[in-house]
Structure 1
Amino acid sequence: MKFRTLILVVFILLVAALAALNFEEILRPTPLNLGVTSVQAPIGLVLVGLLTLMIVVFLVVLVFNQTTHLMEVRQITREANEQRHLADKAEASRFIELRDFLQAQLQVAAAREQEISEKLHHRMDNLQERLTVVIEQTGNGLAASLGELEDRLEQQFRRNPDS
């Protein structure tokens, strides 16, 4: 229980106890001046009735204020939920845009990689063809050199068969 509520309850109990202790005096009739006329009535009972009426009016105003506050809180909560929902949609939209951007970039990178790979294969094929030509030329050159050496050796062997 809140401290203010506790003080209010204690105060009401003290007033009720004071009224209960002086109940005979509260019921004693006295002349009351109402401005236009005078009547004979128990002043204590009239004052307790006015106090009770004031407490009831206070409670009605309190309940009205609490209800108004709760309705405002619900409205604000609903608006906050709507804003959160909109923010979530915007964030999801940004994620979708980011995903699409990344996919486009990946496709560009894949195309670039494919192009580079094709260029590399083409160069490798050219290098292989050149290497094959060089190897053939080298082989032909070696074969010619060996053939020439063989011819020289045969000529020299024919000239000097004894050696």
Structure 2
Amino acid sequence: MGVRTGVLLVVVLLIAALAALNWGLIVTPTTMSIGFMQVTAPFGLIMLGLTALLGVFFVAYVVYLQSSILLETRRHTKEMQAQRDLADKAEASRFTELRNFLETQENAHMTRNAERHAAMLARVEQLEAAMKVRSEQLDNTLAAHIGQLEDRLDRRSSGAAAGMPPAV
């Protein structure tokens, strides 16, 4: 129980105790003026009734304030949820955009790698062809040199058999 509720309860209990202890005085009729005429009525009972009526009005006012605050809180909660949903959608949109960007970058990177790979394979094939040509040239040169050496040997061996001096 809060401090305010405790104080209010003590005040109500004091009023009730005062009314119970002085009930005879409260119900005693008295002549009183209500502004435009004189009336004979129990003044204490009228004041007690007015106090009770004032209490009822205050309770009604508190209930009205609580219900309006509750409605305002509910409206505010709905607005906050709508804003949260909007922020979530925007965040999801940003994630989708980021995913698309990353996929585009990955595709571009893969395309560049494929182009580099193809260029490297073409260069390797070109080098293989050049090596093959060079190897064939070396084979031909070597075969020519071997052929020349065989010719010289043949000439020397045929010249030695015929008695000719070897050619230099």
Tell me how far apart the structure 2 counterparts of residues 131 and 139 of structure 1 sit (CA, whole Å). Answer: 12
| Structure 1: tracts of 5 or more residues without a match | none
Tell me how far apart the structure 1 counterparts of residues 103 and 11 of structure 2 sit (CA, whole Å). Answer: 73
Tell me how far apart the structure 1 counterparts of residues 149 and 12 of structure 2 sit (CA, whole Å). Answer: 134
1:19 aligns with 2:19: yes
Pairs aligned (count): 161
Q: Which amino acid aligns with 2:6?
A: L
Which is further off, 84-93 or 148-157?
148-157
Q: Determine helix, strand or coil for the equivalent of 2:36.
A: coil
Q: Determine the structure 2 residue equivalent to 1:134.
A: 134
Shift of 1:140: 2.7
Q: Determine the structure 1 residue equivalent to 2:10.
A: 10
Shift of 1:156: 5.0
Q: Determine the structure 1 residue equivalent to 2:148.
A: 148
Deviations 1:94-114 (A, max 9, x none): 221222222222222222111
Tell me how far apart the structure 2 counterparts of residues 148 and 28 of structure 1 sit (CA, whole Å). Answer: 158
Q: Which amino acid aligns with 1:32?
A: M
Q: Which amino acid aligns with 1:45?
A: L
Shift of 1:28: 1.6
Deviations 1:31-79 (A, max 9, x none): 1111222222111111110100000001111111111111111111111
Which is further off, 110-119 or 55-64?
110-119
Q: Determine the structure 2 residue equivalent to 1:89.
A: 89
Q: Determine helix, strand or coil for the equivalent of 2:35.
A: coil
Please report the RMSD computed on the Cα atoms of aligned residues, expressed in angstroms: 2.0
Tell me how far apart the structure 1 counterparts of residues 138 and 60 of structure 2 sit (CA, whole Å). Answer: 113
Q: Determine helix, strand or coil for the equivalent of 1:137.
A: helix
Of all paired residues, the percent bearing the same amino acid is 43
Tell me how far apart the structure 2 counterparts of residues 141 and 11 of structure 1 sit (CA, whole Å). Answer: 127
Give the TM-score, by structure 2 length.
0.85
Q: Determine helix, strand or coil for the equivalent of 1:115.
A: helix
Which is further off, 32-41 or 58-67?
32-41
Q: Determine helix, strand or coil for the equivalent of 2:32.
A: strand
1:61 aligns with 2:44: no
Q: Determine the structure 1 residue equivalent to 2:31.
A: 31
Tell me how far apart the structure 2 counterparts of residues 117 and 140 of structure 1 sit (CA, whole Å). Answer: 34
Q: Which amino acid aligns with 2:64?
A: F
Which is further off, 57-66 or 141-150?
141-150
